[in-house]
Structure 1
């Protein structure tokens, strides 16, 4: 076992991390079993959902409930039980983040599993079934990356060379928020502002093609963001434990297991705390 694997195993919440990682991988197998043949339907909000979403949700629920029967669950495809608000520990799950990409067979989708303890993420797992890429984190202990055929190792984020790239997307307020982001770009060394076509999650902050330096969710004109707790809990923790930053637009930590599990007031995730602070200040100066 590598030192990185030992570090993860010895961390607080080691069992929770182990169970969540196994649950994400098992859900990935379920999801790929439906790949290209899952029946598709439409939710009341117009988004798509498939058999694979529900099957993944059931698989993850069963694994978490068996291992931690006293914990609450909040999942995108499950009924929201208000009793979760009385629990200190709540698992927050997106059984397929990127269902539209799953239907289109782009491979650009993930399973997200996070444990929130007293409103703050304590464990986060992001797993991409098509590539086998695993990102995970434990609060106060660090973040790790594991690729098929390679040992798990610590994950650290850092700014790339050149102009920062700030990305947003429809569920984060685009295209209405693009003018505001473009106005702040000169304050950030001529940052490039993009409306992303790829998934905006922890993978997007890794070096490589399509990589971005910051992910911005900015509501404009009274519109609400389509950003829910299950979209962000795992990504938030992985980003911060890897050396980045994640807050609302006032610089406050994002809170989870809330009565309405949605981030309407805006959010920001960045590879670099320094870039994060500069971007928060620039946005405050350009309302």
Structure 2
């Protein structure tokens, strides 16, 4: 747990408790294969495990911080949160389809954003119990199983002598983005190009993934990548572990927005130098395509405005 004198120490402890507890209940449903599946109004899927995890996260955070708003994928978005500097952001199961298809590649994600940026984060992979946690300015930690202590974690910078290993995702443009990603791949001088089936998990740069950089990009002007609950935990964890995360223009993501959607693509890397190289390759390719008319004229796209409620 965090040192008592650390900023947001209590918040980090609660985030870890909530993520761990929610991870256990998700694991219960996963092992029992008993969760029913429902279709939401937008056509996406939700299960009993998502809903049980959401209730437990809200219960634990609400008990410790009753004045803080909570924004989750499965809850009703109360725009009163916009009047608060602090907002908890959670995804009860990031990777519901992976849960349904029993791949093991899904997470419970929790973060606290203050003044638009995450300051505390905790993510748990329920099948393994692996915990990734971070606090702004204090570092990142991992815990292999629930009965082990947190261990300080740093990403190993990529050896510049080796070509970088680049990945994109089916959730962030693949396979339709293949021509664009291949072109960036050539400019970036990568040795391996993969299209993953997982989203922006804090586990993305752990050794078993064997990648150095992660690119979310779509053909055309629509560069909406995901919701705030899909990004906040990994954003802070990667930064505190020594990596770098921005949109395609090099700007940090903002959180607790009127419309909690992250746009303008995604560039993440295990170290700032690799991020800069990838960002330069992306911008060069987009500029070339815009000159030739291969992409729209409104690059980068503006942040969408939330509908009136």
| TM-score normalised over the length of structure 2 | 0.86
1:171 positional shift:
2.1
Structure 2 equivalent of residue 84 of structure 1: 81
Structure 1 equivalent of residue 149 of structure 2: 151
2 CA distance for matches of 1:240 and 1:266? 17
Structure 2 equivalent of residue 167 of structure 1: 167
Matched-pair contact (CA < 8 Å) for 2:88–2:111: yes
Structure 2 equivalent of residue 281 of structure 1: 280
1:230 positional shift:
0.2
The worse-fitting range, judged by mean Cα deviation, of 96-105 and 227-236 is 96-105
Structure 2 equivalent of residue 194 of structure 1: 194
1:132 positional shift:
1.0
1:126 pairs, out of 98, 123, 126, with 123
Structure 1 equivalent of residue 211 of structure 2: 212
Structure 1 equivalent of residue 23 of structure 2: 28
1:222-268 Cα offsets, whole Å, 9 max, x none, are: 44534110001010000000000011111111100001111121121
1 CA distance for matches of 2:230 and 2:29? 22
The worse-fitting range, judged by mean Cα deviation, of 232-241 and 153-162 is 153-162
Q: What SS does the corresponding residue of 1:94 show, helix, strand or coil?
A: strand
1:128 positional shift:
0.9
Matched-pair contact (CA < 8 Å) for 1:178–1:193: no
Structure 1 equivalent of residue 8 of structure 2: 13
Whose Rg is larger? 2
Unaligned 5+ segments in structure 2 are 287-309
1:150-198 Cα offsets, whole Å, 9 max, x none, are: 4211111124564322211222122222222211223323342221134
1 CA distance for matches of 2:223 and 2:278? 21
Residue 259 (structure 1) aligned with residue 258 (structure 2): yes
Aligned counterparts, 1:38-57, within 5 A: 38-57=35-54
Structure 1 equivalent of residue 268 of structure 2: 269
**CA 1:283/1:130 → structure 2, altered by over 3 Å: closer, same or farther?**
same
The worse-fitting range, judged by mean Cα deviation, of 66-75 and 150-159 is 150-159
1:78 positional shift:
0.3
Structure 2 equivalent of residue 37 of structure 1: 34
Structure 1 equivalent of residue 245 of structure 2: 246
1:193-235 Cα offsets, whole Å, 9 max, x none, are: 2211345412120112x33211211132244534110001010
**CA 1:154/1:10 → structure 2, altered by over 3 Å: closer, same or farther?**
farther
1 CA distance for matches of 2:186 and 2:156? 21
1:38-97 Cα offsets, whole Å, 9 max, x none, are: 000122333211011011000000111110011111100000001001100000000001
1:140 pairs, out of 133, 137, 141, with 137
The worse-fitting range, judged by mean Cα deviation, of 240-249 and 140-149 is 140-149
Q: What RMSD over aligned residues (CA atoms) do the two structures have, in Å?
A: 1.7
**Larger relative contact order (Cα-Cα within 8 Å, sequence gap ≥ 6):** 1
**CA 1:43/1:211 → structure 2, altered by over 3 Å: closer, same or farther?**
farther
Unaligned 5+ segments in structure 1 are none
